[in-house]
Amino acid sequence: MKRTLLLFIILVFYTSSAFSSARCTSPDPQTKAGIVLIDGGESVGSGVVVAHNQILTAAHVIKGMDTIYVQVNGALVPAHVLSEDSTKDLALLRADTGETVPLVLSHDKLERNDDVWAMGYPFGESLVSASGRYRGTWDNAIYTSASVNFGQSGGGLISCERGKPVLAGMVRAFGAVKKNGKLVRRDDISVAVRIETIKQFLVTSRQVASVFK
């Protein structure tokens, strides 16, 4: 019997119910400190410090959370939503990020097979930096071979520019194929929001926030 494989995208929040990228061997400690855990009690996800006291995450991560806490440098601090765009699956939180250095946003376009790292907190546990390669951009989303899991949504997709780690996107989902009527996860496919989309969202969010100061 002929078997047809279809690619599906599985969102990966977790509920308890001139220089080449080769110059970056892995994200450095400063970059790792900028990837934070989002804790809503019944569900968890990941986030990225993009400015002082501002954290980017996925809109689906915070959906249904009555209270939001962010783990920064080992301490849980309260957070609230500054802006949210469910169509882009992006949200901007405000929380005390202390001395954490915000991640630098990428300026260069990713090239096929560039090294990338998908960073986040699978199942709300320890920070993971999963290495992979950039495969391409389709339907306004980045596809990579980095393996991700539940809880990593909202985390950072890191690439390398001029020998420095930069934020190239936001982890959103992993891929799956349909076999015999069932979805089967693909460890070699993950999906991220493009940095261009993130930049547009941040500009709009900060403009709106400034009006209501």
Average pLDDT, the chain: 88
Specify the pLDDT at position 180.
Answer: 85
Number of C-beta neighbours around residue 45 at 10 A: 33
The DSSP-derived string for the chain is ------EEEEE--EE-----GGG--S--HHHHHTEEEEE-SSEEEEEEEEETTEEEE-HHHHTT-SSEEEEETTEEEEEEEEEEETTTTEEEEEE--TTPPPPPBP-SPP-TT-EEEEEE-GGGSS-EEEEEEEEEEETTEEEES----TT-TT-EEEEEETTEEEEEEEEEEEEEEEETTEEEEEEEEEEEEEHHHHHHHHHHHHHHHHHT-
Q: How many CA atoms lie within 13 A of 80 on its CB side?
A: 2
At residue 106, the pLDDT reads 96
Find out whether 119 and 46 touch, Cβ atoms under 8 Å: yes
What integer is the mean pLDDT of 160-176? 93
* Domains in the chain, CATH or no CATH each: 7-211 (2.40.10.120)
The per-residue pLDDT for range 23-61, each reduced to its tens digit, is 788 899 999 999 999 999 889 999 999 999 999 999 999
Question: Among 33, 11, 35, which Cα is nearest to 121's?
Answer: 35
The Cα 105–Cα 159 span in angstroms is 10
**Stretch among 8-17, 44-53, 111-120 having the lowest mean pLDDT:** 8-17
Task: Flag whether pLDDT at 1 surpasses 60.
Answer: no
The pLDDT assigned to 44 comes to 95
pLDDT of residue 13: 60
